[in-house]
C-alpha cells in the first residue's frame, strides 16, 4: 500500500492531464507549447540542477549505465522474438518495437525522486540522459536506413543530453552554484515534474490499430516485466547496491516515452499502434511500478 501511495500523486497528475486534454477545453496548441516548454527549458534545468548538486560516484555510475544499456538491448531483442506473432509489415513492426525499450524520463525522475530524494533524481537523470542517444539511434536506424545523418544532428542538439553533460561536468569540476542561481533553477525544476506528467497524460491516445493482440500484449510484457527482471539480474551481477541498484531497476521498468509516437509519425510509421502501446504501458505501469517498488523495498 505504501508503494502505491508513493506513486499515486504522479499518476494522478497523468490522469489529470488526460482529463484536461479531453474535457478541459484547452486546444492542441496549448499542449504542444507545454511539451516544448518542458522539453527545452524545464526538464534540462531539472537535470542540470540535480547533477550539479550531486557528488558523482564513478564506482557505481559506470555499472549503472551498463545495466541501463544492456537492459535496453534486452528489450530490443525480446521485442524481436515476438515479431512472428504480430502480423505487421516491416514499417509497422519497426514503429512498435520502440515500445519494448524506450523509456519515459518524466515518470522516471518523479518516481526516483520520491523513492530516494535528491540522490535518486540525480542518478535517474544521469541514467536517462546517457541512454537517450542510444534509444534514439536504435529507433531511427530501424525506422529508416538513411536516418543516420539526421539523428546525428538531433543528438548533438538534444537539450536533455546537453543538460546532462553540463551537470556532470559542473559536478566533477567541483563548482558550486551561486546564490541567486539555485532558487531560480529549483523553481524551474519544481515546475518540470508537474507539467511533464500533465503532458504525459495529455499525450495518451488510444485509436484503431492493426495487427494481432498477442503481439501488442507481448511488447507490454517485455517492457513492464521482462526488461526489469533482466536489469535486476544484471545489477546484482555487477554488484550494484542502494540507490544505484534501485534506479537501474526502476529505469528498466518505466513505460514507453511519448516521443516514440512523434518519431513514428514523422517517419511515416504506424502512429496509432505506437500510441496504443504508449497508453497501455503507461496505465499498466501504475500497477507494475508499484510491484517493483515493493520488491525493491523488500529485497533491493
Residue 148 has pLDDT above 60, yes or no: no
Burial of 183 (0-12, 13-18, 19+ CB in 10 A): exposed
Between residues 3 and 95, which one has the greater pLDDT? 95
The pLDDT of residue 178 is: 87
Q: Report DSSP state, residue 270.
A: -
Tell me the per-residue pLDDT of 239-264, one tens digit each, with 9 for 90 and over: 999 999 999 999 999 999 887 887 77
pLDDT band at 146 (very low <50, low <70, confident <90, very high): very low
**pTM of the model as a whole:** 0.85
The pLDDT of residue 9 is: 87
Tell me the per-residue pLDDT of 156-170, one tens digit each, with 9 for 90 and over: 777 877 888 888 888
The pLDDT of residue 149 is: 43
Residue 32 has pLDDT above 90, yes or no: no
As a whole number of angstroms, the distance between CA 219 and CA 216 comes to 5
As a whole number of angstroms, the distance between CA 12 and CA 25 comes to 19
Domain at 2-299, CATH from 3.60.15.10, 3.60.20.10, 1.20.1530.20, 3.10.129.10: 1.20.1530.20
Q: Of the spans 106-120, 142-156, 198-212, 229-243, which averages the highest pLDDT?
A: 229-243
Question: Where are the domains positioned within the chain?
Answer: 2-299
Residue 77 has pLDDT above 90, yes or no: yes
Amino acid at each position: 500500500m505504501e508503494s502505491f501511495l508513493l506513486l499515486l500523486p504522479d499518476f494522478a497528475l497523468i490522469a489529470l492531464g488526460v482529463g484536461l486534454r479531453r474535457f478541459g477545453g484547452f486546444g492542441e496548441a496549448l499542449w504542444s507549447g507545454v511539451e516544448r516548454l518542458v522539453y527545452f527549458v524545464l526538464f534540462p534545468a531539472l537535470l542540470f540542477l540535480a547533477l550539479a548538486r550531486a557528488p558523482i560516484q564513478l564506482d557505481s555510475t559506470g555499472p549503472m549505465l551498463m545495466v541501463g544499456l544492456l537492459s535496453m538491448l534486452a528489450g530490443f531483442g525480446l521485442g524481436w522474438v515476438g515479431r512472428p506473432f504480430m502480423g505487421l509489415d516491416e514499417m509497422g513492426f519497426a514503429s512498435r518495437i520502440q515500445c519494448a525499450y524506450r523509456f519515459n524520463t518524466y515518470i522516471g525522475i518523479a518516481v526516483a525522486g520520491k523513492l530516494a530524494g535528491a540522490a535518486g533524481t540525480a542518478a535517474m537523470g544521469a541514467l536517462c540522459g546517457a541512454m537517450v542517444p542510444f534509444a534514439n539511434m536504435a529507433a531511427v536506424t530501424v525506422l529508416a536506413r538513411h536516418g543516420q545523418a539526421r539523428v546525428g544532428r538531433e543528438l548533438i542538439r538534444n537539450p536533455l543530453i546537453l543538460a546532462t553533460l553540463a551537470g556532470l561536468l559542473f559536478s566533477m569540476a567541483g563548482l558550486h552554484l551561486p546564490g541567486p542561481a539555485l532558487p531560480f533553477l529549483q523553481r524551474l525544476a519544481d515546475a518540470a515534474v508537474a507539467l511533464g506528467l500533465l503532458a504525459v497524460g495529455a499525450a495518451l491516445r488510444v485509436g484503431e490499430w492493426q495487427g494481432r493482440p498477442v503481439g501488442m500484449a507481448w511488447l507490454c510484457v517485455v517492457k513492464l516485466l521482462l526488461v526489469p527482471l533482466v536489469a535486476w539480474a544484471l545489477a546484482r551481477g555487477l554488484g550494484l547496491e542502494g540507490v544505484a541498484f534501485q534506479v537501474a531497476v526502476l529505469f528498466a521498468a518505466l513505460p514507453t516515452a511519448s516521443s516514440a509516437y512523434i518519431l513514428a509519425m514523422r517517419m511515416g510509421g504506424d502512429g496509432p499502434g505506437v500510441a496504443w502501446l504508449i497508453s497501455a504501458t503507461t496505465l499498466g505501469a501504475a500497477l507494475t511500478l508499484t510491484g517493483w517498488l515493493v520488491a525493491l523495498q523488500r529485497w533491493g
